Structure 1
Amino acid sequence: MIRVLIADDEPMVRAGIRSILTADADIHIVADAADGRTAVEQARRHRPDVAVLDIRMPGVDGLTATRQIRADLPETAVIILTTFGEDEYIARALDYGAAGFLLKALDPRELIAGVHAVASGAACLSPVVAQRVITELRRSGPSRGQAARTRVAALAPRERDVLALVGSGLSNADIAKRLHLVEGTVKTYVSAILSRLEIRNRVQAAIIAVEAGLVDHPSKE
């Protein structure tokens, strides 16, 4: 059972998200909130597997709530759900540790799939967001790619294998199957990769994998 917290300042939106997610028998809503501060408090109380947060909320916004939740509860994955697709929001959300960034104008099935993805240790980006990331990487030029290759070169061969699969959007379970490892070993590898590369989350790891040429593009999940 995936335990989920919802935060949005519009009651109808919260009701809609709840209705969508509870249509999946494997998802259970543990709490909801109308602002970022309450979302953080509820997250600390219920320790959900996934928090689905709106960006623009009164008081503490979704991005600040993301940073606080990830700092206090590193096992809680955060999905930013918003109508805004500006690059500044994407960059900040990922920098603060969000595992997913989805636009509200999506198929409900994408939201359910996104919750499952981040709960299993993968990342999820709306196709529009993934394309923005790809575009930014293409603009970054060869110097950024060289820097990524230098960073990746410090990893052990098996760590590079795992990083490539993280960059392809695979969950820990899928990586374990692909590399014939147990899931706990993959989790250890991912933690080591994040530490060695001095990054905070799998999305940042995926970006480095793309920049280093380990995969063609980040996952659109």
Structure 2
Amino acid sequence: MILLTGFEPFGEDAVNPSWPAVLRARDILVSEGHSVEALELPCIFGGSVDVLLSAVADLQPDIVLSVGLAGGRERLSLERVAINCDDARIPDNKGQRPVDQEVVPGGPAAYFSTLPIKAALRNLQIEGIKGEVSQSAGTYVCNHVFYALMHSVAETGVRGGFLHVPYLPEQVSPGSKVPSMPLESMAAGIAVVARTAITTSVDAKLSAGAVH
């Protein structure tokens, strides 16, 4: 079973495309016969993790793919690493703004995604959907959730990871150079990543690193 999660809106954005994209991806995957649940997370340090881990305990998924917004990026970003650091540039939806705090006190410095991100990237490219492997999920609530998820499933056999999506076209001012992506492309991409995780036990070996 697959658990997909998205986020509620945060900051100055009235919409967080991660949630409607997750709902659409769920529908696509369910129509193909897959067992999928979707969950909206609050954009809150601590509270988001409580909601996620409660669902993981209840649903016992085999795969967890969390999705969040990275406004300004132009591609679906398959996150490679979650770090044990909360450092908020803006307050969360509860007004919290942690600075240089550990997500899990005393936890490892980082966790790698256990989803086949290179194989997923290749499959996104085959489908004509813009994708990339990202080396940083930031230090806001997305990374907070990603790290806490990986810490909680580290010894369980559950595979997990995180995907960032761009803005929707309607979130970008006309004439703006800020990148965006249609909802259907986001949803199709999320479905590609989930399908790849189902069918791929050993990740592909291909270059998708960064010079800086």
TM tier relative to shorter chain: 0.3 to 0.5
Give the TM-score taking structure 2 as reference length: 0.40
- For the pair shown, the structure with the greater C-alpha radius of gyration is 1
Which structure's residues are more often strand, by fraction? 2
Structure with more contact order per residue of length (Cα contacts < 8 Å, sep ≥ 6): 2
TM-score, normalization by structure 1: 0.39
